Structure 1
Amino acid sequence: MANIVWHRKLRIYLDLTRADLGHEEYEDLWSTVYAMDRMYSARGVPVRERELQCGGVCQETGVEAPMFLRVRNGRREAVHERAEDEERHTAPLSDEHKAYQERILKAAREGGYAGDSEVRTRVGRSWIQTDTLIEGADGRRFGWEIQLCSAGTEGPRSVRARASRAEKNGITPAWHTDRADYANRHDSHWTRSDNLPAYVIAKTGDLRVVSGYRTLDFWRCDIHAVHPCPHGARRCGKAHATPTPHGILFDDLVRGTAAGLIVPIQFRTATKQHRFWVTDADRDRLEDLQADDTQLPPAPDTSGSADRASYNRPTCRPTREAEPSPLPAPAPIATALHHIPRQAAPPASEAAPLPASPVPGTDVHGGVRREDAVGLEAVIAAQQAADLTRRRLEQLSCDEERRHQRTAWFEAAARAQAAVTRYAQAKRLNRFEVEQRVRRAARDEAGLQRPGCPPPEIRR
């Protein structure tokens, strides 16, 4: 098919993309030309003897390619008589495109699945063509489309239309690209790898998928949650799921989709609907969560699965992350402790004489258990441990590691605060004064005194 047609008798070019065919001076030109071509067809006149020829690529290459007109689904079309003329309008596949097709077939065959490239599937009176069609387990069919050039979002040849036609005919569309702007499109389930040459894509190595595959993080929306509430409330108390980008090897993605272990999902947020690939376990947990958001779905059993190391050389170009500098070990606590001022004398109502034989487990300072009276050394050590855990958090960049480290920091800080409270109660001291002195002492012992600041005042 072509959009530009050369009329030999009228000696004009006809642009089928325009209503007036590019000639405003002729009224209803399309009806005249189309009626004449239909009359030739009814009288059995061969296409090569009619007045229409391709005025685009074929004419530019010096080839006379006969054409005829037709109307399909309300669209005007000019069709070549010979298939070789039609193929002249199709851009040749690039070496990178062919390398991806070969790699998909090789990865599928290693997993025990059959496939073929450039497969035409009959759909009613027309057909659809798939770059690489993989026959997966349980009758699943996956149509891998390698898109390394520009692709439209609207129209009969757009990504949305082609993916919809494939889904209606039992083919799960899987679109792969190396362009970063496709990662923000949600007209299909896109995956993306780095922009690599053909010989790197085709060789045996670890081709990594950097976009399009995610894991779902299930969490409770309370004060301990790391993610913000998707409903806009401060904390709604419900269970939510948050997708997190995750890396995967391209070969594992091809075999996982064919086996049914990796599935496409549509994840709706407040503003848009996202399409990406997840494991079947995360898909099942998401369905359970959407059915009942009052409780978190059970976590899948991963005791029998272990991460498998790869011995292949990588084909991606990862950026080298800076390793966190080791933190200095806390210095030993000095034996000379700061003296903290005591509170004022208690009122007369509290100064009643103590019984001759106090209750076992209490001391003479108001009924505080002896085992709860923590020494000042332990209080400062607990505060140093909390500060060290917080400094480790500042050097992490991975969201998963930061979540675990933040939990450890909360627990260490809670232990330090409890130690301060017990010490202040045991010694009948002002808790605020105790906490401030302990924080300064912990910072001085660890060598973190700010330059230019005088040492803390010591009351004797």
Structure 2
Amino acid sequence: MANTVWHTKLRVYLDLIRDDLGHPELPDLWETVYRTDRLYAARGVPVAGRDLQCGGVCQEAGVEAWMHLRLRAGRREAVHEKAEDEERHTLPMSDEHKAYQERIVRVAEEDGFRADSEVRTRVGRSWIQTDTLVEGADGRRIGWEVQLSSAGVHGPRSVRARAAKAEKNGITPAWHTDRADYARRNDTQWTRSDNLPAYVIAKTGDLRVVSGFRALDFWRCDVRAVYPCPNGVRRCGRFHATPKPRDVLFDDLVRRTAAGTIVPVQFRVGGTTHRFWVTDADRDRHEALRSDDTQLPPVPEPDPSARASRNRPTCKPSLPALSAPAAGPELPAAGVPAQPAPTVAETAVQSRGGAQRGPHPALHPSGLPDQLVALQQTATDAHLQLQQLDDLEERDRQRRVWLEAAVVVQAAVTQYARSKGLNRYEVERRLRQVVRHPETQPGTPL
């Protein structure tokens, strides 16, 4: 229920607390509006056709929440049509919800994208309210909606309508939850992580998405196939694609949806349309397969940024303290494909006097290898230069330079932490402190 009602035809707000509804110039306004609403009800007009909307919390959230009027014990009341709109007035935003919003904004901005929470987008006479909106590459906009365990037993009932409205207005909907029953729905592309406390979600360690991302397995329907034919025949001899669940890191999902390398798809199986996320390469192969399933689509080049992480997940918040031996192994840029010319990061290491090949690389006063510090310094410098550019073409070029350097340093941190048996998150945090705040770092190793 609510006290403020918006009349869509009269274009006025009705304050039910006041006898004159806030409009002394309109005598008998309550009797007129109430009798009209009762007449609509007697004729079977649905609530959405009675010209009354919530003019308070729901309207501020950009949601069209339809209402009807009633009298209870002589008290005027406006009642929401949907229970989820009613809950919006009573359920405050949880700390976990805020932690997800802050994490999305932080990750997007670290990659050079713009992001903000509780964004209202004007659509005709109404609004679209987005939990967190990320302005990605090439004008791409990703609208993140977070629905956690506190959202109710049955979950939001207007997901499909809200997602369709967002898509119609150029916003790619991305709904995230920690509930398995929400994630099994097919009304939009749902992703799911484990149910975690707010302080764990807010960490910069690995937050794993366990549902909603798929890898497409392309195969020929012959006697050697391990999947049944989706056409219901024994073996048709054509090529098909089968989605297989894959884990992905939440931070990578935010970055790559904004960059366009992870995209939403609709995959039809029988009479059911499944909605999930795949890489853009799998999407392109699937579209090629749908146009001609007599040939197997070509395999794309491997994506170096799609490697799995071996870091401790954030669902294990109790982590041992960081401790490292005095010497560390040599740190090549593991997992980065070879190129004819040295990468930006490799050139930077050489110019900064990086560690020479050998069993005992030089150490920084912090106890970290010099080469690791040089790689992080290169990525940090590239990011600072990106923030100083205004020209779109120059920013796009510099962003690629920064991403290349970031991939190299992430691979090096991963290899170093794995070889020393350390928590990768702690190594990365200490490395960034050493580079960004060298004046505050002690001169003794870790």
TM-score (norm 2): 0.53
Partners of 1:278 and 1:74 in 2: CA distance: 39
Determine the C-alpha separation between the residues in 2 that align with 1:164 and 1:2. 27
Equivalent residue runs for 1:423-434 within 5 Å: none
CA contact (8 A) 1:151 1:159 kept: no
- Runs of 4+ in structure 1 deviating by more than 6 angstroms, as ranges, are 39-43, 49-52, 81-84, 151-155
* Distance change in 2, residues 1:307/1:132 (3 Å): closer
Counterpart among 39, 44, 47 of residue 25 in structure 2? 44
Q: Is the 8 A contact 1:154 1:161 kept in 2?
A: no
The aligned residue for residue 191 of structure 1 is 191
Q: In structure 2, do the counterparts of structure 1 residues 219 and 80 end up closer, same or farther at CA, with 3 Å as the change threshold?
A: closer
Cα distance in 1 for partners of 2:290, 2:216 equals 13
Question: 1:75: which partner in 2?
Answer: 50
Write the distance in 2 (CA, Å) between the matches of 1:80 and 1:225. 58
Looking at structure 2, the residues matched to 181 and 76 of structure 1 have their Cα atoms a distance apart, in angstroms, of 34
CA–CA distance in structure 2, aligned partners of residues 234 and 87 of structure 1: 51
Check the 8 A contact 1:3/1:78 in 2, yes or no: no
In 2, the alpha carbon distance for the partners of 1:4 and 1:122 equals: 21
CA pair 195-173 structure 1, distance change in 2 beyond 3 A: same
User: What residue number does 2:79 align with?
Assistant: none
Shift of the alpha carbon at 1:44?
A: 1.9
Find the counterpart in structure 2 of residue 202 from structure 1: 202
Query: How far apart are the structure 2 equivalents of 1:173 and 1:244?
Result: 22
**Secondary structure of the residue that 2:315 maps to in structure 1?**
coil
Q: 1:120: which partner in 2?
A: 120
Matched residue of 2:98: which SS? helix
Which SS does the other structure have where 2:287 is aligned?
Answer: helix
Provide the residue aligned with 1:221 in structure 2: 221
Query: Percent same amino acid at aligned positions?
Result: 68
Q: Which residue of 2 aligns with 1:344?
A: none
Alpha-carbon separation, structure 2, partners of 1:263 and 1:81: 35
> Could you say which residue in structure 1 is the equivalent of 2:295?
295
The answer to whether 1:234 aligns with 2:234 is: yes
Residues 9-51 of structure 1, C-alpha deviations (whole Å, 9 max, x = no match): xxxxxxxxxxxxxxxxxxxxxxxx9xxx9x988862499x979
Number of equivalent positions: 266
Structure 2 contact 141–170 (Cα < 8 Å) conserved: yes
Choose which of 126, 132, 150 in structure 1 pairs with 2:152: 150
- Structure 2 equivalent of residue 141 of structure 1: 141
* Distance apart, 1:2 and its partner CA: 2.7
- Return the index of the structure with the highest Cα Rg: 1
Point out where structure 1 has 5 or more consecutive residues left out of the alignment: 6-32, 53-70, 319-460
**Contact between 1:3 and 1:77, CA under 8 Å: does it hold in 2?**
no
The residue that corresponds to 1:445 in the other structure is none
Whether the 8 Å CA contact 1:132–1:143 is kept in 2: the answer is yes
- CA pair 246-308 structure 1, distance change in 2 beyond 3 A: closer
Query: TM-score, structure 1 length as denominator?
Result: 0.52
- C-alpha RMSD of matched pairs (Å): 3.8
Is the 8 Å Cα contact of residues 2 and 78 (structure 1) preserved in structure 2?
A: no
Equivalent residue letter for 1:261: T
Aligned counterparts, 1:373-412, within 5 A: none
Aligned residue for 1:162? 162
| Distance (whole Å) between structure 2 residues aligned to residue 244 and residue 211 of structure 1 | 11
- 1:195-237 CA deviation, whole Å, 9 max, x = no partner? 0000000012100000000000000001111111111111110
Alpha-carbon deviation of 1:111?
Answer: 1.2
Matches within 5 A, 1:4-153: 44-45=25-26, 74-75=49-50, 77=52, 79=54, 89=89, 91-148=91-148, 149-150=151-152
Shift of 1:269: 0.6
257-266 or 86-95: bigger deviation:
86-95
